[in-house]
Structure 1
């Protein structure tokens, strides 16, 4: 990945952790940091100035403060700023075509309606062509915990961009990859539920089959990233619940989203982890990027 780490700024305090996280990511991966603000898009809790010149002046102050903070935290990184006169969502989606990743702030728990539904974040998360990381306003450190948790559900090439992002992040930050695969007996081909729980031998067989699937999926990534420690995590249950339970020691949770999903831009698993995760969440468009 050679593009910039793009951070979207809305002029509120929730942008501060996003700038910190984006600057740390740019430093770790030796990438430029690009800070973007739209003076025509304002959050509902920010009074909108009537005069365009006043809005532009305020935007320049937002960008200047963010640039100064990024350089103070990581003096060696290259930082550029951009103020646009189009809607923030449109500008961010456009920049995602060349970016390595995008970073947005969120209000975290209890504010899903304000953070996602009908918001700039929802549009960007669902349309961006690069990974988008959401950082809650109470996150104070980047990669302060040892694990990067990644959901491994898709067979074949559909999940490879998700694993590429997780392993590259782990390599850059000297972290572990915790590869999580959830399974439910009712989802196993040919299984007809006849009782509330499966017999122990049947459960063991399902678990063994899922372990082999996960090991086979991870094998080429272990070869490509030999210095990354991988923890295989198999658990019975719904995907979102299993992922969230795996995150107490995580610095980042990585999940995939389907490209061109309609009518909802994001699926239920992505919505659930964005709302409930205790750590930043990276939403990665699923594309095939097979390791060589």
Structure 2
């Protein structure tokens, strides 16, 4: 196990994208290829053949895997056309799509999935950050929006948002949510805005070219983030690490975004073994 983790930590980060049938892979593959181009990293395409297909008398495992390999080859060729210069490889596997994708990505990698049931399972189980591609993907306009609740562990989401904005040459909108009454709204908003600015200092220092807007709002964070997704090119949210076979949790806010966001959603997960995407804000 130690060698497995050590090997992953030494390998450069890559993007792992799951593809299904050709009719449905277009937006996901395009987004993943563009992201690999922005990050200047390898793109790995994974397709899993259903266990029932591999064990069907009329469709034996060798035939099913052959079909999967041809599908991966087609997706690989399309990705190379979409992102010339990006190194691309593919992997056809037998088994469930969610399990194959989770196994294919190390903690430094980015998994890219669609917004169906497989995507939701991957968000819950992956060790890495996961981008769920849904809604408007082209053209890419607007800021990167990130949800921030003041928790010290939110550094992973803030860092991912600034990294994403830096590669896109766009602004970051930080949405700070809390519950407060109207009669103290002015005072509370000012205090929370000041607290948020302090929390953002390490990221502003690292990405001075990224413009930042802070929006302090009261009410349901899920509703505010969905509203922000109408104009954003990406919404970023922190994700808890998976614990045991049941996986982790994107929480009710993340689940709501997976169903209702108008743009792709990035679930930023800290790497426990390396600390990547973990910035403790308690000392700020």
2:111 is aligned with 1:89: no
Provide the residue aligned with 1:78 in structure 2.
87
Provide the residue aligned with 1:111 in structure 2.
none
Unaligned runs of 5+ in 1: 107-114, 186-196
Q: Structure 1 residue 48: deviation in Å?
A: 11
Structure 1's 263 and 62: CA in aligned 2 closer, same or farther, altered over 3 A? closer
2:45 is aligned with 1:35: yes
Provide the residue aligned with 2:168 in structure 1.
173
Provide the residue aligned with 2:257 in structure 1.
273
Indicate which of 104, 124, 140 corresponds to 1:126.
124
Map 1:80-119; keep pairs closer than 5 Å.
Answer: 80-106=89-115, 115-116=116-117
Deviation string for 1:200-253 (max 9, x for gaps)?
A: xx2211111111121111111100111111111111211111111222221111
Preserved contact between residue 226 and residue 260 of structure 2 (Cα < 8 Å): yes
TM-score using structure 2 length: 0.84
Structure 1's 61 and 167: CA in aligned 2 closer, same or farther, altered over 3 A? same
Matched residues in 2 for 1:25 and 1:205: separation? Answer: 40
Q: Structure 1 residue 85: deviation in Å?
A: 2.1
Indicate which of 151, 161, 174 corresponds to 2:147.
151
Deviation string for 1:5-57 (max 9, x for gaps)?
A: 000112253322111111100111100000011123589xxx99622222122
Map 1:115-264; keep pairs closer than 5 Å.
Answer: 115-116=116-117, 120-136=118-134, 139-141=136-138, 144-156=140-152, 158-185=153-180, 197-199=181-183, 202-260=184-242
Structure 1's 215 and 38: CA in aligned 2 closer, same or farther, altered over 3 A? same
Preserved contact between residue 240 and residue 248 of structure 2 (Cα < 8 Å): no
Structure 1's 99 and 290: CA in aligned 2 closer, same or farther, altered over 3 A? closer
Equivalent position SS for 2:182: coil
Give me the CA root mean square deviation: 2.5
2:31 is aligned with 1:21: yes
Preserved contact between residue 6 and residue 99 of structure 1 (Cα < 8 Å): no
Matched residues in 1 for 2:182 and 2:33: separation? Answer: 48
Structure 1's 167 and 140: CA in aligned 2 closer, same or farther, altered over 3 A? closer
Q: Structure 1 residue 286: deviation in Å?
A: 4.7
Number of residue pairs aligned between Structure 1 and Structure 2:
261
Unaligned runs of 5+ in 2: 1-10
TM-score using structure 1 length: 0.81
Preserved contact between residue 146 and residue 175 of structure 2 (Cα < 8 Å): yes
